[in-house]
Amino acid sequence: MKQKLPGYLVHAFTALGAALGLWALFATAGHQFQLALWLLAAAAVIDSVDGALARKAQVKVRIPEFDGGLLDNIIDYLTWTIVPLFWAWEVLSVPTLVVIICGMASVIGFSRTDAKTEDHFFKGFPNYWNLVVLHMYSLHFSPTGASIGLFICVLFVFIPMVWIYPSRSLHFRKTMLILGGLYGIQLLVMITLFPHIPSWLAWSALIYPVIYFTGSLYLNYNRSRH
């Protein structure tokens, strides 16, 4: 038991994301929209570090009968898809059918065996729904505009392009981590100022997503040449 304890502690830390996700869902239903964003941010922090902790603790060796990857996917579907889409339904007035289609597309993306490639890329849209809906809110998207934007993301779920995996990428890793840290600070400021997010912050916060998308396209081009 002593040998397995570090592994169980890491899995318990990962499972904390599910509790935060459910709390964020209840907060959204209760129109505590800013609280929901803080809870999703906390869940994202856990998601960003639990993989490294799992590798350090060698959880696959210590607890081979426990599928940490499956646990991670279940929680990610809640915190990166279900809650953000419900938030969009409540806050952005996105039609129910649009939210349902996005949720169905997302679960298909999560079910892909190659959703994370061996050379450390995401394949298909990485289900960044929480980031997408926050940017849509900050830029004052109408329900129609938000629906169109969400449908574009749905298309990218099925387009077999690869996307940079910032924390494990073999390309631009240091640059993406530094820029990602600055982007994270911008997001925290946006949540702090919610619901009154100034336009200069809303537009400047798009710099990292544009660099991320452009870098992903560039790496797709390079991969297609080899």
Encoded tokens for 32: 């505590």
What is the model's pLDDT at position 117?
A: 81
pLDDT class for 2, splitting at 50, 70, 90? low
Residue 28, SS3 per DSSP: helix
Look at residues 148, 134, 128 and name the one whose alpha carbon lies nearest to residue 79. Answer: 128
Both structure tokens of 17: 């994301």
Q: For 105, what's the count of Cα atoms within 13 Å in the CB-facing half-sphere?
A: 23
Q: How far apart are CA 17 and CA 97, in angstroms?
A: 27
pLDDT score at 1: 60
Q: 124 with 109: CB under 8 angstroms? A: yes
- Given this model, what pLDDT does residue 118 score? 80
- State the residue for tokens 């890491």: 10
Nearest to 106 by CA among 124, 87, 92: 124
Residue with the larger pLDDT of the pair 191 and 164: 191
pLDDT score recorded for residue 121: 86
Nearest one of 179, 79, 160 to 121, comparing CA atoms: 160
Q: How confident is the model at residue 63 (pLDDT cuts 50, 70, 90)?
A: confident
Q: How confident is the model at residue 46 (pLDDT cuts 50, 70, 90)?
A: very high
The band of 226, judged by pLDDT with boundaries at 50, 70 and 90, is low
Q: How far apart are the first and last CA of the chain?
A: 48
**What global pTM score does this model have?**
0.93
How far apart, in whole angstroms, are the C-alpha atoms of residue 120 and residue 4? 28
- For range 129-141, the mean pLDDT: 98
Tell me the pLDDT band of 124, cut-offs 50, 70 and 90.
Answer: very high
Q: How far apart are CA 66 and CA 173, in angstroms?
A: 30
The percentage of residues in the chain with a pLDDT greater than 70, rounded to a whole number, is: 99
Amino acid 12: pLDDT = 85
